[in-house]
Structure 1
């Protein structure tokens, strides 16, 4: 290997095993999952560290967010991280650009290394508390009518239908999220990115000039290092073949079209195709089971009102956060129509 990953834990893999494992690791965002180790990123370099699974205690998601988890524009303003706890409690925090990549990595890790805990100790304690509260809430629910029970059953059949092709719902959610994020991003950020990228090119030119005139070697490393930092930082924000208005809008339209074609095969699907996500239907089920609605139309309207009511003063659980992140962009893009 030209660039050998650096071990963070006290335990290490033998060089031949590390090389083979690193080559075969499955990349998820800036990190990766091998058969014997997890590969982690620094701020700028992907998969430059590793920790053998034998040293890993926990791997979990951490989200930095504004108060209550929302910005003033009705979107979650969040920065996702992957946290790996290893050895005697040390932690390595890895920044990700997209939260769904953290979720994908945890899902892959759960399948391949089921012995590793995927929640922090604090989250586990909160989860136990939430389970107890949910049990109390279930016991306090009123008895619903026979018609309401039929509506819940209809929604469950629709959920089962969507679960036959989960990728369609995931694509719908992700495309809507990217569209909303792009629309809420100030154009001035792209000008700043352009300026940062230009600084990177200037540093490259200065480094080449210093090399030609035989300046001190330290200058080369400094200038080329600055060039790399500025260039990579700028490119991450600048429009690209996949990160521009046309591509993002096209992906969203394609995801909705694919879902529309799929739900045509289900007579009287309970929600419009633009909202066809299992989480939407599950929230509708809860609304009916809580006695707040008796049929699917009313339930959908109440789900919309619940999402609208979430603002900067509302604090939510991790479960609620995950649900809202998945579906709220779809409603925002459609203006709750």
Structure 2
């Protein structure tokens, strides 16, 4: 390996095992999951650290600068992190650009390293409390009418049908999220990005000029360092072939079209293609089981009202937060129609 990952824990992998494991690791965002260790990023460099699984106590998601999740307020995050707790409680926090990448990594760990806990201690306590509250709620629920039971069973069959091809629902959710983020991004950011990128190129030119006229070497490092920071910062914001209005709209349309084609094979599917996600169906089930609706159409209306009511002043649990982040952009993009 040209760049050998640095161990963060007291335990280490032999050099031969590390090289093999690092090369074959599953890359997810800036991190990676191997057979022997997890590979973590610094602020600038991907997978430059590693921790053997034997040293890991917990791996969990943290959402910083957020109005949602366990911070207790609102529903949308701004900066997702992966937190790895190891040795005697030390923590390494890794920044991600997309929250779904953190979820994908945690899902992979759940499947391949089931001994690792995937919640923080605070989250586990909250989950236990929510479980107890849910059990009390189940005991206090009224008996369902025959009509309600029929609706719940119909929704369950629809969930089973969607879960045969989960990639369609995931694509629908992710495409809606990207489209919503693009809509909420101020056009002025593009001008800022262009200015930052221009500064980067100016710094490059200044560095080359300093090199030609044989200025002090410190100048080269400063100018080229500034150039790298400004240029990469600008490129991450500027529109690209995959990050522009037309491409994002096309991705959203394709996801809806694929879902529409799929649910044509299910007679009388209870949702339009733009909302066809298992989470939506499960929330509709809960609405009926709680006695807030009897029919499927009524349950969808209640789900829409619940989503509309979730704003920065509403406290939500982690489970609720994950659900809303997955489906609310679909409803916002469609104006809840």
The alignment's TM-score, normalised by the length of structure 2, stands at 0.96
Aligned to 1:220: 220
Residue 107 (structure 2) pairs with residue 107 (structure 1): yes
Residue 7 (structure 2) pairs with residue 7 (structure 1): yes
Cα distance in 2, alignment partners of residues 224 and 326 from structure 1: 41
Aligned to 1:164: 164
* Worse-superposed segment, 276-285 or 201-210: 201-210
Aligned to 2:117: 117
Aligned to 1:267: 267
Aligned to 1:314: 314
Cα deviation, residue 67, structure 1: 3.9
- Matched position secondary structure for 2:269: coil
- Matched position secondary structure for 2:328: helix
- Matched position secondary structure for 1:39: strand
Aligned to 1:234: 234
Aligned 8 A contact 2:67 2:77 in 1: no
Cα distance in 2, alignment partners of residues 3 and 215 from structure 1: 31
* Worse-superposed segment, 204-213 or 293-302: 204-213
Aligned 8 A contact 1:59 1:118 in 2: yes
Deviations 1:285-307 (A, max 9, x none): 00000011001000000000000
Cα distance in 1, alignment partners of residues 225 and 22 from structure 2: 25
Aligned 8 A contact 1:68 1:311 in 2: no
Gaps of 5+ in 2: none
Cα deviation, residue 78, structure 1: 2.5
Aligned 8 A contact 2:37 2:52 in 1: yes
Aligned 8 A contact 2:83 2:91 in 1: yes
Cα deviation, residue 245, structure 1: 0.6
Aligned to 1:63: 63
Aligned 8 A contact 1:12 1:51 in 2: yes
Aligned 8 A contact 1:75 1:329 in 2: no
Aligned to 2:243: 243
Cα deviation, residue 277, structure 1: 0.2
Cα deviation, residue 225, structure 1: 1.8
Distance 1:277 1:136, change over 3 A: same
* Worse-superposed segment, 200-209 or 117-126: 200-209
Aligned to 1:135: 135
1:143-292 alignment, distance < 5 Å: 143-292=143-292
- Matched position secondary structure for 1:60: strand
Q: How well do the aligned residues superpose, as a CA RMSD in angstroms?
A: 1.3
Deviations 1:10-47 (A, max 9, x none): 22222222222111111101111111111111112111
Deviations 1:177-199 (A, max 9, x none): 00000000011111111111111
Cα distance in 1, alignment partners of residues 38 and 188 from structure 2: 37
* Worse-superposed segment, 51-60 or 269-278: 51-60
Cα distance in 1, alignment partners of residues 75 and 118 from structure 2: 26
Cα deviation, residue 65, structure 1: 4.0
Aligned 8 A contact 1:65 1:76 in 2: no
Cα distance in 2, alignment partners of residues 152 and 45 from structure 1: 49
Cα deviation, residue 222, structure 1: 2.1
- Matched position secondary structure for 1:164: coil
- Matched position secondary structure for 1:259: helix
Cα deviation, residue 215, structure 1: 2.3
Cα distance in 2, alignment partners of residues 125 and 148 from structure 1: 33
Gaps of 5+ in 1: none
Cα distance in 2, alignment partners of residues 112 and 60 from structure 1: 15
How many residues are aligned here? 333
Cα deviation, residue 208, structure 1: 1.6
Cα deviation, residue 77, structure 1: 4.0
Deviations 1:54-103 (A, max 9, x none): 1111110001244456xxxx972421110011111111111111100000
* Worse-superposed segment, 227-236 or 311-320: 227-236
Aligned 8 A contact 2:40 2:47 in 1: yes
